[in-house]
Amino acid sequence: MITDAEQRLAEKVRGQIYENLNERYEFDYEVKDDLKAYMENTAGARDALKKDVAEWKQARTRVNDMYAAAWNYQVAETKYTPATAAAPAHIELNNAVKVSNNWRAAAQADEDLQHRQQNDVKEYM
């Protein structure tokens, strides 16, 4: 037989379960409401960041092309002389200053892009 005390305890537990469920629903609602507000309040910044990221990708492609061009130029300016009976093989680099300047320009563009990305990201923090 279920006593009155046991019945009250069961009612209390049931009440706590419903209270807990309602608190969870309220919390879920608040989180969704906050997320919606966040999405609305940050739409402009997120759009600007997307634009910046697209520009970074284009700039990264240009930097990579600069590195590739520097490498290709260096290879084109490298002269190989095979060994002969009288002399060993020999490799020399023509236009060494221009080769160096090409690598320097690519590295500088890379560094500038990294600084730009860091500064852009700081704006969104």
For the chain, what are the domain ranges?
1-41, 45-125
More confident residue, 5 or 123: 5
For residue 20, the model assigns a pLDDT of 95
Confidence of residue 58 (pLDDT cuts 50, 70, 90): very high
d(CA 69, CA 109) in angstroms, rounded, equals 13
* Secondary element (H or E) of residue 80: strand 78-81
* Secondary element (H or E) of residue 92: strand 90-93
Averaged pLDDT score across all residues of the chain: 94
What predicted TM-score, i.e. pTM, was given to this entire model? 0.67
For residue 123, the model assigns a pLDDT of 83
What average pLDDT does the segment 38-66 reach? 93
What average pLDDT does the segment 28-37 reach? 94
d(CA 64, CA 106) in angstroms, rounded, equals 8
Contact (CB, 8 A) for 89 and 80: yes
